[in-house]
Structure 1
């Protein structure tokens, strides 16, 4: 009974499947290349396994320079080190493992002055595992990018490279391109759903909408500083702040604070605003009235009064006669704004979901991604089918290459030693008719 055998280049025995040492020794004994042709052949072989080699482009950089035109072939110490390191990577055991669709993916990218590298992995039971390595060389224009632009280039390259894996995941947050950033900030700060809040709440509203900006906090601060309505109305001093009060333990909508806001210019016969604020969720209700029946103020409601009044000051027309019509928009902006005491917006706390602001309707690309994410099972099946098709194409290409090498070897073996073929030199390409055989091989 056979206890050990070689199958597809691997040794199969009772110990399991192991790599054939003869194959490893062939790669370990490859001498240093002496010309560009040998360098090209080595890089072609190593490039076939580049997904298993981390930072392949960075390691092979000294060798790729030798492939440029008008460059003297000088195999210096840097080239020798890169050559030896690639050989060691090829013969060593890789740490890549198969992916698990039940766990989330992690993308780690790192740019340098001449290349970008990225890793697709998963964290399972607190440990990180590698699934895919990818890297590419920067062109001359990309090398002139600053550090921030190179980092964003690495992020974009990572998502484009790993798009089949990440498209159905739960971690898609659309990065806004530069020409759309001001429009998103305008929606989340200036329009009715924005409320002219400060930089922190404006930035939080952008994140709650599912968007991402590389320098969100700085952009939000600069946008608020340049907002004319915010600069005209000024801010609230420490003299107007409410003193600390004991915390009341209660449920949502159990305890309300009520107060009247006044005075206001007459707006459709309305002079006052009746405000009611929930102590827990900070949910606010308000109604414009013509009379005031307040006997004493409420501290909880006064905080909301100032914010509602600040929103109205920045959104009404110069005559301030339309504040009663703008009241519903001000309430909507207040309810969807992030509140530090509760760690979220009142809308999210009450309805237990995010509010879809009008900014999302105008950016169709974001909603297309969201619509795709609604069908994770369909995305997983489509990705598996695409990966299977790629694997079949790779195996078919490998079979065709092996078939061509065998045909070439047979042609050389048939030629008598020391004699050439008329009309062909020793270094000329080999003429082979492969039409009939190609049909048999289904190329």
Structure 2
């Protein structure tokens, strides 16, 4: 039951306790490998209304008047009150192995042994505070967790399949409220969508005040484009603050955008439309606007490097698309031998126990006289870059890039790494 408490809410002093940012909660789960999700049974109803305040919640029905003894839905301060309670009781464990969003609780751990101990601590807290979970909606010690419309696994963030299906099956809107609902759902996943503002511009223009509704071909194309890009199931990496962040930006005549990356894996996309004044900027000014906007958006990720960078006298240098030459990188016998798999293959080759690999000029070869490339530093990434980004390569597709690479090189999972690189190439999008 949900009561209309608008009159009560209007005279209520607002509780300003902040609801946690969803993106911050996801970031905490990046390095975990085991997850348990708990859902409180009718969470609000487990919070007692302050004694003496019950009459304020009175509702009138044809069967008589009733007042709540527990916190009902619809009160303006209900979310903040519940959030305050959860943060208070779980305070010792927040940002360590527990994240809470209202009545959703996720316990995360690196190992199963750790996870069992963390669960014991959480259940003890719940027992002490007489809070009860709904068993049917809980999942325990999983390697993948569904949380706030997303799936999280192995440091990767994905869209929830049910939400993707809902977007995919959405019929073209015929009036503003329907369009606003569609854009509201798609906007929730905008961090997955490169150039979202530009893609959605024909649709957001229809939401402007006094704008006459006219669903033309541009609107239909933008609608289908958003549905298509959402269903491509792009996987984002969750940030690791021990690694270096990269910000790639771009600007067009009508919009600016960028992507936050770590080790060539996208973490989030960002974009916005340029206003009328900004559209008259020079190309250089638009590019700088894109940089400033992205730095502001991701400042909570990047400020950690500010003190470190302040120690150096450095300049920002434009880097052209041509790739660095890395042919000499593979001649480093010491680096090759340091890799466990490479050492095992070299040993087998020397002993004549494998026909697939052999050693020649201190380098490991396989069929087609291709060089085996160890996972060392950025060697593999640089080779993919040379076969994709350089002028002679011309930014080909996944198959062509892999074919060029496999003419001279080999390593396990070469197909997956090429696919990941090409899918996140800003030029090819």
Scaled by the length of structure 2, what TM-score is found?
A: 0.35
Q: What is the TM-score when the length of structure 1 is the normalising length?
A: 0.34
